[in-house]
Structure 1
Amino acid sequence: MDVLLWIIASVLAVAFLAAGAFKLSQPKAKLAAAGMGWTEDYSARTIKLIAGLEVLAALGLVLPPALDIAPVLAPLAAIGLVLVMAGAAVVHARRKESQLLVVNVVLLALAAFVAWGRLGPYSF
């Protein structure tokens, strides 16, 4: 089970690191043109804040336990991603973007699984 948790945490970390880095590196108009229509509803500062949270959570999923420095940060990062994905799911539900809503729910479930595993029976 520990290996499965590492795999899921690593996949989540790569996905959120890439998504966050993309949002941090591109202007709001380019994000909207790239298919992220939800960005039109938020300020550039809010988009950068969300992106920063995604990058920090991605790093928090793998670096603390890998370096054996405050490994409790990994499940806390997973809980942070659960909250981010819950917010994203609400936004996409309101915008009636069902395909993105499914992606949000899957990522939320994976992050919740990592949080459960690392806080519960398979903690570091």
Structure 2
Amino acid sequence: MLIAYWIVAGLTSALYLFSGGIKIVRSREQLQQMMTWVATARMPIVRAIGIVEVLGAIGLILPPLTGIAPALAFVAALGLVVVQIGAIVFHLARGEARLLGFNALAFALPVATLILSTIWL
């Protein structure tokens, strides 16, 4: 189970570090090419989502790796699940059901990490 946790947590972290990182550093115009919803969102909200995603990604790896408060990995995974539930609801409300494929993956990875963290921790 430990190896499975690290594989899934690593993939989840990579996804959210990338996704959150670009939301933090890129301009609205650069983000609109990849995420059309950014055109109607306020940039402080986009940046806040990016910060939450990056913190969640760090929380999946750093606490278990250092052994300091490894239960925070569970909290980080739960936070990423909540972020994706919000994203799915947001896209459905905008009539963007066709975009939910990526959100389904971005939801499944932290759910798997959440499950594995309860077994491992």
Work out whether the TM-score is over 0.5: yes
Distance in 2 of aligned mates of 1:107 and 1:30: 21
- Counting matched residue pairs gives 121
Q: Which has the higher contact order (CA 8 A, sep 6+)?
A: 2
With 4-13 and 95-104 compared, the bigger mean Cα shift is at 95-104
Task: Report the RMSD for the aligned CA atoms in angstroms.
Answer: 1.3
Does 2:41 match 1:42? yes
After TM superposition, the runs of 4+ consecutive aligned structure 1 residues lying more than 6 A away are none
SS state at 1:9 partner: helix
User: Which residues in structure 2 correspond to 1:58-73 (within 5 Å)?
Assistant: 58-73=57-72
Using structure 2 for the length normalisation, give the TM-score: 0.92
* Conservation of the 8 A alpha-carbon contact between 1:16 and 1:54: yes
Q: Matched residue of 1:48: which SS?
A: helix
Structure 2 counterparts to residues 43-122 of structure 1, below 5 A = 43-119=42-118, 121-122=119-120
Please, which runs of 5 or more residues in structure 2 have no aligned partner? Answer: none
Q: Report the Cα offset of residue 5 of structure 1.
A: 1.5
TM-score by length of 1: 0.90
Percent identical among aligned pairs is 35
For 2:109 and 2:21, how far apart are their aligned partners in 1? 21
Helix, strand or coil for the counterpart of 2:13? helix
Whether the aligned pair in 2 keeps the contact of 1:85 and 1:108 (CA below 8 Å) is: yes
Per-residue CA deviations over 1:66-122 (Å, capped at 9, x if unaligned) read: 111111111110000000011111122223333431211222122112112212x32
Q: 1:76 & 1:50 partners in 2: Cα distance?
A: 16
Unaligned segments of structure 1, at least 5 residues:
none
What CA distance in whole angstroms lies between the structure 1 residues aligned with 2:43 and 2:57? 21
State the SS of the aligned residue for 1:91: helix
**Structure 1 residue identity aligned to 2:2:** D
Partner of 2:30: 30
Cα deviation for residue 11 of structure 1 reads: 0.5
In 2, Cα distance between equivalents of 1:27 and 1:117: 36
Moved more, 90-99 or 5-14: 90-99
Q: 1:38–1:91: 8 Å Cα contact kept in structure 2?
A: no
2:12 corresponds to which residue? 12
